[in-house]
Amino acid sequence: MSVIRILTDRVANQIAAGEVIERPAAVVKELVENSLDAGATRVEVEFRSGGRALIRVVDNGCGMTQEDALLSLERHATSKLVETADLDRLGTFGFRGEAVPSIASVSHFELQTRVGSAAAGTEIVINGGKFVHVRECGIAPGTRITVSHLFNSVPARRKFLKTDATESAHIIQTVRLYALACPATAFVLIEDGRVLFQSPVCATLGERVGEIFGRQLVVDLLPVAMAETGLKLSGLIGKPGVNRSTRHELLMFVNRRPVDSRTLNYALIESYATTLAKGRYPVAVLFLELDPAAVDVNVHPAKREVRFRSEGAVRGFVIRAVLQRLREWGAPAPRLEPANSELGRSVSSEIMPGDPLSPTARPAVSWPPTSVAMQPPPAPSPAPAITKMVDAPSAASAPTASPALMGWRFIGTAHGDYALFETPSGLMVLDRRAAHERIWFERLQMQFQQGAVGSQRLLFAIPVEFDAIASSLLIDQLAFLQRHGFEIGEFGRNFFRIEAVPVWLESSDAVTFLRDIIGLIREGQLDGKNLDLARTALAQLAAQQAVRLPTSLNETDALALVSQLFACTQPHASPAGRPTHFELSRGELLRRFQR
């Protein structure tokens, strides 16, 4: 029979560390939040080996007396609140009192602190949850916390950490978020003895964004400011046409707290509905202010997620504010749904029963087309030398129609992107864009594997500036990009020059394409150490960039496009998994017309 026991404080702290301190970046987050809550106007963060070996946070805040310093190491000891009702008027980043003792229980922990009126400071050292000593020390007013050998006392947790580069990227991202949240505080970030960024006190958010993301980005941002009863939105949003392939530059803050909120993210993406291509995301640094009682910040151990009392009202307010600014800029605005509608409601939910577009009225298609599926596709021929991304296979260079296409007749195009064919077995609809992406994807994959990637030098090098994280990620993958047609050189701190691009890339698209590559690197999809995975990701991205559909299409080129598509190894789907075509059989047509 099992015996129930009360856990010791040391074990309880280590369990709490599993929820609160999941990785080195979480240590940095908690310590920086404490510094900001202490009123610091300068915060310096230093780390080594991705935070495993050392994390040090130094601030010039109010500091602590020896008594308060010792109390801060007890579980649930906090100066932020006393009763549950205090959560409804919370104005600080931290409030639970779990972070500091949790950190001290899984590391070698050194706390040095001093209040301005004291003659000497206090030093407390803890190793793996056990007190080593408490004594006086000399220190400027403020607090310095040094965390080393993180998770040494919990080896299982240490094994789950990622590479130093990945953990460093998370730390840099964390510090960057709090630097954006508090422009009036100076920030310094040091990695392995090298200053990654150093931002003085900034009078405006725009200045801080320029310090972190680069001056080039600030030019492409629009200020937003709107207030309604109980709600206020401010910050910067990207101009129509300024977008990214990932959400890494879509940053949201609620009462200055960096958060991941589906409500806010979807509201912003919906506001850009008519100006964003599928799979692209806007750039934004937005601050939402509302009554603390109207938002719950205590729904996630790391306080990354929040829950609004009225999700619909918040969503509608953000959409109205962003749409108003985009209208002022001249962007077309999408239809605005009622504020209390469900998040992410699909278009299909607006289709009335009995509508021809209703899911219940959609035909059961024969896919892939029977007229082609009956014939095995020919083996792919060697990829032709590519000098430029072309709009469509030309009649001169296109292969003749395969025997599988005998009896096919090109009818025309519909809505620009779709080609219609009459076939012996029915009617086939081809997504021209998806077909081109599949063809180019397999051509580029073959080129990458054969090492036959051509490069073209630019007459004038293109300068580009990235933030600290993007710069470090790009430097790590420069050798891989060099082998695949790019020539990129460092040109100062966080500045680069694009001196050559692959022959399949237009120079005007080089900067956008490079930013998309960095997005893939951030998500772990493009790592030069895994060549197969990296080449597949690069080919997929390049294939999307390749498509330039001509406005007109003749029968020769249309049949050549189909022939090239079915010469691919996977002709029935684009690299992103979208269907390239579908067929309405003759039987289905007869049934539709009740014949």
Please check whether residues 359 and 232 belong to one and the same domain: no
Please check whether residues 291 and 337 belong to one and the same domain: yes
- Is the separation of the CB atoms in 89 and 292 below 8 Å? yes
Please check whether residues 99 and 51 belong to one and the same domain: yes
CATH code at position 565: 3.30.1370.100
Please check whether residues 62 and 172 belong to one and the same domain: yes
Residue 209 forms part of a structural domain: no
Per-residue model confidence as pLDDT tens for the chain (595 residues): 567 777 676 666 666 555 568 889 999 999 999 999 999 999 999 999 999 999 999 999 999 999 999 988 887 666 655 555 555 556 678 666 678 888 998 899 999 999 998 999 999 999 988 889 999 999 999 999 999 999 887 777 788 888 887 888 889 889 999 999 999 999 999 999 988 888 899 999 999 998 888 888 888 899 999 999 899 999 999 988 888 888 888 999 999 999 988 899 999 999 988 787 777 889 999 999 999 888 887 766 666 788 898 999 999 999 999 999 988 886 554 544 444 433 333 333 333 333 333 333 333 333 334 333 333 333 444 433 333 444 444 433 444 455 556 788 899 888 888 999 988 888 999 999 889 889 988 888 888 888 777 888 898 999 988 877 788 788 888 888 888 888 998 887 778 999 999 888 888 888 888 888 888 887 777 777 778 888 888 888 888 776 677 777 888 888 888 888 888 888 888 888 889 998 888 888 888 888 8
Please check whether residues 228 and 326 belong to one and the same domain: yes
Of the residues 283, 312, 346, the one at which a domain ends = 346
Residue 497 forms part of a structural domain: yes
Please check whether residues 413 and 333 belong to one and the same domain: no
Of the residues 298, 316, 346, the one at which a domain ends = 346
Pairing of strands 250-254, 284-290: parallel
3-state secondary structure of 171: helix
Please check whether residues 341 and 267 belong to one and the same domain: yes
CATH code at position 133: 3.30.565.10
Please check whether residues 482 and 448 belong to one and the same domain: yes
Residue 1 forms part of a structural domain: no
CATH code at position 241: 3.30.230.10
Residue 396 forms part of a structural domain: yes
| Rounded Cα gap, residues 373 and 364, in angstroms | 17
Phi-psi region at 588: left, alpha or beta (left = phi > 0; alpha = psi -120 to 50): alpha
Residue 195 structure tokens = 């200053």
Which residues have a Cβ under 8 Å from the Cβ of 406 and sit 6 or more positions away? none
Residue 437 forms part of a structural domain: yes
Residue 303 forms part of a structural domain: yes
Residue 583 structure tokens = 């067929």
Please check whether residues 188 and 231 belong to one and the same domain: no
Please check whether residues 409 and 490 belong to one and the same domain: yes
Residue 433 forms part of a structural domain: yes
Range of the domain at 231: 220-346
Please check whether residues 320 and 376 belong to one and the same domain: no
Burial class (CB in 10 A: 0-12, 13-18, 19+), 390: middle
Of the residues 300, 316, 346, the one at which a domain ends = 346
| Rounded Cα gap, residues 350 and 56, in angstroms | 54
Please check whether residues 341 and 369 belong to one and the same domain: no
* Nearest of 548, 532, 487, 551 to residue 514 by alpha carbon: 487
| Rounded Cα gap, residues 447 and 324, in angstroms | 47
Residue 528 forms part of a structural domain: yes
* Nearest of 201, 141, 173 to residue 24 by alpha carbon: 173
Work out how many domains the chain is built from and give that number. Answer: 3
Which residues have a Cβ under 8 Å from the Cβ of 111 and sit 6 or more positions away? 69, 72, 73, 122, 123, 124, 125, 126, 143, 144, 145
